[in-house]
A and B are shown apart, each in its own frame.
Chain A
Amino acid sequence: MKNINKISGAEAVIRSLIEEGVDLIYGYPGGAIMPIYDELYKFQDKLNHVLTRHEQGATHAAQGFSRVSGKVGVVMATSGPGATNLVTGIADAQIDSTPMVCITGQVASHLLGSDAFQETDIIGISTPVTKWNCQVTKAEDIPKVLAKAFYIAKSGRPGPVLIDITKDAQFELFNYNYQKCNSIRSYNPISTCSDDLFDKASKIINDSKKPFIVFGQGVILGNAESEFKKFIEKTGIPSAWTILGLSALPTDHYLNVGMVGMHGNYGPNVLTNECDLLIAVGMRFDDRVTGNLNTYAKQAKIIHLEIDPAEIDKNVKCDIALLGDVKSTLPKLTKLVNNNTHDKWLKTFSDYYKIEYDKVIHNEIYPTKIGLTMAEVIKEINIATNGNAVIVTDVGQHQMVACRYAKFNDSKSNVTSGGLGTMGFALPAALGAKMGAPEREVVAVIGDGGYQMTIQELGTIFQTGSAVKIVVLNNDFLGMVRQWQQMFFEKRYASTELINPDFVMIAKGYNIEANKVSKRSELTLAVKKMIESKKPYFLEVKVEKEDNVFPMIPTGASVSEIRLE
């Protein structure tokens, strides 16, 4: 606790952020937040503010920062359009459980409701997509509301919080006093469950002949990677990941059997409907994971390890729910289960992998056709980075291909927009990821469509000098939509073909070194040169225009009906 003489609400915002250990903010100034920016100017030595080129970019950068560092991302914007431009990023952070605190300026409190210049009801607008939000009209409320904001954003199942501060509250002087928040009486961030449920679960696990694990981002958010590894290594259970669980377990781990879901691997999808026990670890049975719920793992007993009680039985009814942070529930379970192996069952997965490899994977990573495939680009990135890079992806075909083929040795290395599927996510998120893990290689893999949704953030990358490596896989199409049009709409390519600008020239315009590749013979060297660069670098790869991503579970089909072609 600190006591200082009277300070302004704006200064209190900055001091509160510093108390919370914040040293990096993404944002964009404007009229209603100017007092706070004026204080930022005075605290430049303690707080680095990154001026993005659009407020949406600030939210995605904060998300990227949070996803690699585990810290709370902080965003600032002005009222009205500044605030509304945050909404997509907030919704993305909400559905992907990313801790984020957004601070918006608001018109002076006496003007609220008068349709004043740049007034918008951001509390009303952001309510359904925030974990919590609050409008502050008095300076004295600023420290306690911000303390609550950080506590809520990072505790339990993390999420975004928005604090809207009226301009008069920013100017008002008051006696500042900061106290961190550790509890809120109406909020119970971590549910628990009784010990006998662990006994029951361990018995089911011990008796199971064909157990199967699907793990999600809960393992990463709970910093429970080693606890998870210990559990699967003791039980010998084949484990597959959801897109947000990717990198929690090294891709080459002997029990890692690949990805579940719409474009996941053949074995894990088919065998979901053959296992006798499905253990869901920190995941939420998204429809892109389950396909048709009426035919999803009906033969299996289901144990769900989950922090959020609202996820229990939401989509898939479980036999046992182990509520709590997987960091504490997994070790409890590990202690109770027998040492085991499931070699024959595990071999079933490799048999399916062989089928998938022969029918799909080999042709994708070692293509014989002229056009470049997205997968061979990812393979080159794997080689050049030894699987040590943070891979940031946007949304669409390139995202599915990158997640399918990228190699990861370390956790917190896969940054993508999973739940919301936000095109335009990757470029700013990659900037945030690089700032959150400056010592690591950060490679953004983006499609030509999504890239142009936030292309302006090249300016932020240039200004900060962050050595982000940007790979645009250019097929001159909105590829995923085009694939669906081909498969389900008789090739009626409605508004999916793009006539693209000269991406290399655009990057060079931002003073970013840039290169373009359209021949296989040039690819390896081009990727190597990009990775070796110590500066931001842009690489455009012209890929085959009408390639499709397989395997695929068509919408509404069962996971076992996954198609290889």
Chain B
Amino acid sequence: MSDKISTFTVSIYSENNIGLLNRISAIFLKRHINIESLTTSQSEIENIFRFVIVVNVSEIMIQRIIKQINKQIEVISSFYHKNEETIYLETALYKVKSKSLFNEKHIQKIIKKSQANIVTVSPDYFVIEKTGWREETEKLYKELEPYGLLQFVRSGRISVSKEPMNISNLLGLNTDK
């Protein structure tokens, strides 16, 4: 195991209680680690919450962090994965002036080529959605930027692991999907 910094996706299954987010982010804060992205949502199990956190740290550090996260009373279990061990995506929204869409033919080509979707079109602006890897949403950002981005936002990473996590077993539930 190396001290080399790489990207890890942390998945946490937990109870859905007030304050747990604070408790988990404090574990990163205490070690002076920046959280690259954080997403929370319902999981595949009723009333069980899931966090997906992306950080750039060494594998030794992520192992220690996972142990500290597992130690939290309301955490059922947590895991870390390298990029190749997960299926992951991010969603980005780009708000562009409508004038650009109609005046610049090129922009339509960009949208088509990047397999992005147009979500909304209004007389003043239109909104493009692109779901994919960071490189893809960034590429589209760079391509659209010259036409003037009114707004840009990107979600945190969502990810599912290739290997099963067996949370239902941990909880003694017999509903592993």
Interface residues of A (CB under 8 A from B): 123-124, 127-128, 131-135, 152, 184-187, 308-310, 312-314
- How far does the alpha carbon of A184 sit from the alpha carbon of B14 in the complex, in Å? 12
- Known pairs A127-B23, A310-B67; A135 contacts B18 (CB<8 A): yes
Contact A309 B23 (CB under 8 A): no
Alpha-carbon separation in the docked complex, A275 to B67 (Å): 29
Cβ of B76: which chain A residues have Cβ within 8 Å of it? 185-186
Given the complex of chains A and B, what is the CA–CA distance between A185 and B86 in angstroms?
27
CB-CB under 8 A for A127 and B22, given A184-B73, A186-B76: yes
Q: State A152–B73 Cα separation when bound (angstroms).
A: 8
Bound Cα distance A184, B75 (Å): 11
Closest to A123 in B: B19
* Shortest distance from the beta carbon of B67 to any chain A beta carbon, whole Å: 4
B106 on interface, CB distance cutoff 8 Å: no
When distances are taken between beta carbons in the complex, the residues of chain A under 8 Å from B171 are: 185
**Minimum-distance CB pairs A-B, first 6:** A310-B67, A128-B26, A132-B73, A186-B76, A187-B73, A310-B71
Chain A nearest Cβ from B91, distance in angstroms: 30
Q: Which residues of the other chain, A, contact B14 by a CB distance below 8 angstroms?
A: 186
Assess the B73–A131 pair: CB atoms within 8 A: yes
Q: In the bound complex, how far is the Cα of B26 from the Cα of A127, in angstroms? A: 8
Complex interface residues of chain B between 57 and 102 (CB less than 8 A to chain A): 63-64, 67-68, 70-71, 73-76
- Give the B interface residue count (CB, 8 A): 21
Q: Does B177 contact A (CB under 8 A)?
A: no
Q: CA separation between A134 and B73, bound complex, in Å? A: 11
Of B19, B30, B75, which one neighbours A186 at CB under 8 angstroms?
Answer: B75
Nearest-Cβ distance from residue B174 to partner chain A, whole angstroms: 14
Is B176's beta carbon under 8 Å from chain A?
Answer: no
In angstroms, Cα B70 to Cα A313, docked, is 15
Q: Which residue of A lies closest to B173 (CB)?
A: A185
**CA separation between A66 and B73, bound complex, in Å?**
22
Across the interface, which residues of A come within 8 angstroms of B30, CB to CB? 128
Question: What would 14 more interface pairs be, CB under 8 Å, given A128-B29, A312-B67?
Answer: A128-B23, A128-B30, A131-B73, A132-B73, A134-B19, A152-B73, A184-B73, A185-B76, A308-B71, A309-B67, A309-B70, A310-B67, A310-B70, A314-B67
Nearest CB in chain A: distance from B27 CB, A: 8
Closest Cβ neighbor of A128 among chain B residues: B26
Q: Which of B18, B23, B26: most chain A Cβ within 10 A?
A: B23
> Would you list 22 pairs from A and B whose C-beta atoms are within 8 A, ordered by A residue?
A123-B22, A124-B19, A124-B22, A127-B23, A128-B23, A128-B26, A133-B19, A134-B19, A135-B19, A184-B73, A185-B76, A186-B14, A186-B15, A186-B74, A186-B75, A186-B76, A187-B74, A308-B71, A309-B67, A313-B63, A313-B64, A314-B64
Residue of A nearest to B63 (CB): A313
User: Which of B3-40 touch A at CB < 8 Å?
Assistant: 14-15, 18-19, 22-23, 26, 29-30
Report the nearest B residue to A308, measured CB to CB: B71
Contact with A along B36-52 (1 / 0, CB 8 A): 00000000000000000
**How distant is A553 from chain B, measured CB to nearest CB, in Å?**
24
CA distance A187 to B71 in the complex (A): 8
Residue in chain B with minimal CB distance to A184 = B73
Q: Report A90 CB to chain B, min CB distance, Å.
A: 14
Chain B residues within 8 Å of A, Cβ to Cβ: 14-15, 18-19, 22-23, 26, 29-30, 63-64, 67-68, 70-71, 73-76, 171-172
The CA of A131 and the CA of B23, in the complex, are separated in Å by 10
Give min CB distance, A309 to chain B, whole Å. Answer: 6
A123 surroundings in chain B (CB, below 8 A): 19, 22
Q: Nearest chain A CB to B64's CB is how many angstroms away?
A: 6
Verify B73–A186 contact, CB threshold 8 A.
Answer: yes
List the B side residues contacting A314 at CB < 8 Å. 64, 67
Task: Give Cα A185–Cα B77 distance, bound, in whole angstroms.
Answer: 11
Task: Point out the residues of chain B lying under 8 angstroms from A184, CB to CB.
Answer: 73
- Chain B residue with Cβ nearest A152: B73
Question: Are A310 and B73 in contact, CB atoms less than 8 angstroms apart?
Answer: no
* B22 nearest CB neighbor, chain A only: A127
**Cβ distance A380 to chain B, nearest Cβ, rounded Å:** 43
Residues of chain B lying within 8 A (CB to CB) of residue A187: 73-74
Q: Which residues of A contact B63 (CB under 8 A)?
A: 313
Distance of A348 Cα from B148 Cα, bound (Å): 77
C-alpha gap A309/B30 in the complex (Å):
19
Distance between Cα atoms of A244 and B70 in the complex (Å):
25
**Which chain A residues border B74 with CB–CB below 8 Å?**
132, 186-187
Say how far B173's CB is from chain A's closest CB, in angstroms: 10
Q: How far is the CA of A128 from the CA of B27 in the complex (A)?
A: 8
Q: CB < 8 Å: which of A127, A132, A134, A310 contacts B64?
A: A310
* Residues of chain A lying within 8 A (CB to CB) of residue B15: 186
With both chains docked as a complex, state the minimum distance between the C-beta of B51 and any C-beta of chain A, in angstroms: 13
Q: What is the CA–CA distance of A135 and B20 in the complex, to the nearest angstrom? A: 12
Which residues of chain B have C-beta atoms less than 8 A from A312's C-beta? 67
Task: Give A203 to B111 CA distance when docked, in angstroms.
Answer: 66
B residues near A310, Cβ cutoff 8 Å: 64, 67-68, 70-71
Contacts of B29 in A (CB 8 A): 128
Expressed in whole angstroms, the Cα–Cα distance for A134 and B18 within the complex equals 8
Taking the closest CB of chain A, its distance from the CB of B37, in whole angstroms, is: 22
Least CB distance, B25 to chain A, in whole angstroms? 9
Alpha-carbon separation in the docked complex, A184 to B172 (Å): 12
Neighbouring B residues of A128 by C-beta, 8 Å: 23, 26, 29-30
Query: What are the residues of chain B within 8 A of A152 when measuring CB–CB?
Result: 73
Complex CA–CA separation, A234 to B63 (angstroms):
36
In the bound complex, residues from chain A placing their C-beta under 8 Å from that of B73 are 131-132, 152, 184, 186-187
Of chain B, the residue at the smallest CB distance from A310 is B67
Chain A residue at minimum C-beta to C-beta distance from B27: A128
* Residues in A whose Cβ lies below 8 Å from that of B18: 135
**Which residues of chain B are within 8 angstroms of A309 by Cβ–Cβ distance?**
67, 70-71
Residues of chain A within 8 A of B23, CB atoms compared: 127-128
Residue on B with the closest CB to A161?
Answer: B73
Closest to B60 in A: A313
Residue of A nearest to B19 (CB): A123
Q: Which residues of B contact A308 (CB under 8 A)?
A: 71
Instruction: Give min CB distance, B111 to chain A, whole Å.
Output: 43
Q: How far is the CA of A187 from the CA of B15 in the complex (A)?
A: 11
Residue of A nearest to B74 (CB): A186
Alpha-carbon gap, A128 to B71, bound state (A): 12
**Closest Cβ–Cβ distance, residue B49 to chain A (whole Å):** 11
Find the B residue at minimum CB distance from A315: B64
Hey, which chain B residues are within 8 Å of A134, CB to CB?
19
A133 to B22 alpha-carbon distance, docked (Å): 11
